[in-house]
Amino acid sequence: MTGILQALLSFFGVSGSSSANYIEDVFSTYLYTGTGAAQTITNGIDLAGKGGLLTTKSRGSNPMEWTSNVTGLDRSLESNASTDGVGVTTFNFNSNGYTINTTNARWNQSTTNYVSWTFRKQEKFFDVLTYTGTGANRTVSHNLGSVPGCIIVKRTDPVNGDWQVYHRSLANTEYIVLNTTAAKATGTTRWNSTTPTSTVFSLGTDATVNASGGTYVAYLFAHDAGGFGAAGTDNVISCGSYTGAGTDVTVNLGFEPQWILFKNATVVSVGSNWLILDVMRGISYSVSGDAELYPNLSSAEAADSKINILPTGFLAVTGNTITNRAGDTHIYIAIRRGPMKTPTSATTVFGLNARTGTGVNTTVTGGAGVTDLALIKSRTSANNGIWVPRLTGNNYLVPSATSAETTATNLILQTNPWDVMDGVKVGTTGNTSNDTGNTYINYLFDRAPGFMDVVCYTGTGANTTFNHNLGVVPEMIIVKDRSNARAWAVYSSALGNTKYLFLNATDAEATASSVWNNTTPTSSVFTVGTAAFINNSTETYVAYLFATLAGISKVGSYTGTGTTQVINCGFTAGSRFVMIKRTDSTGDWYYWDSARGIVAGNDPYLLMNSAAAEVTSTDYIDTANSGFEISSTAPAAINANGGTFIFYAIA
């Protein structure tokens, strides 16, 4: 929002942002380890003021627990059972999360790993309410503010009752049961053969939803209702279905999901459990064995189902009974990935730190939040750096080489490197990430609108566009073939859509229509041509997209002078990270950072295109509040008179 518009809105007493809703304010996936004592989970969700639902699942063998302020924080329902729940020592709902005041194997046993999914009450997203049954056809009012896409009802008094599910993809004469593997069934006495509206849902006379004097809780999930984002028109939750096939099935949600609940509504078998996948525990692209949990079972987490996350939905890979059995109807609830807010500070999306290797499994922390991309490089020995994106699971790439991605084996990375709320887990040995006594530099990036995005795709061999979620036009795109040994391609807006560079090489800019298809990216798509290193048929790729975000990041260019010059990035306290490449002639990809030192004297640098250790004896750049300063002592590869250069800087 421009300053003028904000001033006008303020003058008339209207807030330009306070009324906007964002998914990161109403939903959270949070990973934690039980302590056996009271602990507070800070997930940024205001449960104290707004109320909502807390669902917790041990990643070992315990039921999924459902706790809500409307049913009482001293009670929890279990979605694998028809019983009325278990008593618990009280939870506290806080303004930024919740507190667990007890030890219990279901949510806080010492050293046990857990995941919690928090749903805050919010129009056009989620509502939870209780009611007392009448035994007669009736309606119940709700505050979802839109037509529910899914309703889950559970009887809460001592009379047992299965969890009844209404889903918009089934008929209003049909229902499905959450605590069993049963397929959809017909029963007009559940929903009274009546589709819910934006204000009420209907009940029949069945005792599982409306026995006279029975007490019930209902959880309501919206469907494509808008209401989110700065304009208030973005969808954040979708309740839909698709038909399984003998091939991969692409499901278009209109957004990238972070959490999905699945059920095969057709088949009745052990393989037709309800299934929850989320990006925090690991949904990746073209990596088998997504971490799955089952609401209808107390089973431990397994790795079996396979979907690929896409910028506008997901791809259900063929062959899995729950997510893609040929001819069957699969229903789902999908929730949008965040953040949706454009960041206002670089420290909320980018973290960096220097550390010394330990030679034992270690979590590299220091990011601004949930890390989506980690760049790690040894400073003291000649070893390759690594790029580790969350979307590729436990695989990493080497920027100084053309090699295909490598799978972690607890050496460079741990086999579950992203199973943490902050940072990435590195392995036991290996100079690349954590060798004893070696020093390392870590860069931790968060995906955020206007700042940085990551996209995985499968090549087509033909000129193609791929969606992204950067929200603005990318000014730099770096692409690497994951499945084969090929060069890293770099797009720069300063060079235009006919030229490209190689990140792993010193080459000057080159011209070819087969790389970007002579097409400038837009705020929603980027285009690739037919060159094998960017779009070979059936091969898998990862693309990193960067943009200028005022006061936070700058993708730019300059002309060398051979003398001292200040590069104005629009910052106020200088740059924490700077990368420079000469484009009209050969030159390395130099990079510096404030953790190792961007100062008035010598500044250590590393090279993206080289495995070499850092060089500490040069003074090529200096500090400048607005960005950084190129020193008169810089070589031709950084400041040749008349030379052309591109750079990327982060405040």
193: helix, strand or coil: coil
**CA-to-CA distance for 246 and 554, rounded, in angstroms?**
46
**CA-to-CA distance for 116 and 66, rounded, in angstroms?**
10
Average pLDDT score over residue span 140-166: 97
pLDDT in tens, 336-394: 999 999 999 999 999 999 999 999 999 999 888 899 999 999 999 888 899 999 999 98
Q: How many beta carbons lie within 10 A of that of residue 347, not counting itself?
A: 13
25: helix, strand or coil: helix
For the ranges 12-26, 30-44, 225-239, 418-432, the lowest mean pLDDT is seen at: 12-26
Task: Name residue 500's beta-bridge partners.
Answer: 510
Phi, psi of 314, deg, nearest 5: -155, 160
Q: How many beta carbons lie within 10 A of that of residue 11, not counting itself?
A: 8
pLDDT at 586: 98
Report whether pLDDT(85) > 90. no
pLDDT at 1: 37
The pair of three-digit structure tokens given for residue 347, joined into one six-digit string: 């420290």
pLDDT at 369: 83
pLDDT at 19: 82
C-alpha closest to that of 392 among 240, 507, 541: 541
pLDDT at 270: 60
The pair of three-digit structure tokens given for residue 148, joined into one six-digit string: 């529910």
* 588: Cα separation from own chain's centroid: 32
pLDDT in tens, 91-122: 999 999 999 988 888 899 999 999 999 999 99
Mean pLDDT, all residues of the chain: 93
pLDDT in tens, 284-314: 888 777 899 999 999 999 988 789 999 999 9
Average pLDDT score over residue span 65-79: 94
Among 101-110, 411-420, 434-443, the range with the most confident prediction by mean pLDDT is 434-443
Q: Are 445 and 396 in contact (CB under 8 A)?
A: no
**CA-to-CA distance for 130 and 142, rounded, in angstroms?**
10
For the ranges 35-44, 411-420, 485-494, 633-642, the lowest mean pLDDT is seen at: 411-420
Task: Name residue 261's beta-bridge partners.
Answer: 276, 333
Q: Are 350 and 343 in contact (CB under 8 A)?
A: no
pLDDT at 271: 66
Q: How many beta carbons lie within 10 A of that of residue 5, not counting itself?
A: 10
26: helix, strand or coil: coil
Confidence band (pLDDT; 50, 70, 90) for 630?
very high
Average pLDDT score over residue span 462-486: 98
pLDDT at 312: 98
Model pTM? Answer: 0.94
**CA-to-CA distance for 550 and 627, rounded, in angstroms?**
12
Between 506 and 407, the more confident residue is 506
**CA-to-CA distance for 109 and 103, rounded, in angstroms?**
6
Report whether pLDDT(16) > 50. no
Average pLDDT score over residue span 43-51: 96
Confidence band (pLDDT; 50, 70, 90) for 9?
very low
pLDDT in tens, 484-529: 999 999 999 999 999 999 999 999 999 999 999 999 999 999 999 9
Average pLDDT score over residue span 31-55: 96
pLDDT in tens, 327-345: 999 999 999 999 999 999 9
Report whether pLDDT(2) > 50. no
pLDDT at 15: 36
pLDDT at 11: 36
Report whether pLDDT(18) > 90. no
pLDDT in tens, 195-214: 999 999 999 999 999 999 99
Between 17 and 211, the more confident residue is 211
Confidence band (pLDDT; 50, 70, 90) for 88?
confident
**Which residues, 6+ apart, have CB-to-CB distance to 14 below 8 Å?**
none
CA distances from 298 to 294, 425, 466 (A): 7, 27, 39
Confidence band (pLDDT; 50, 70, 90) for 55?
very high
Between 461 and 287, the more confident residue is 461
Residues in the chain: 651
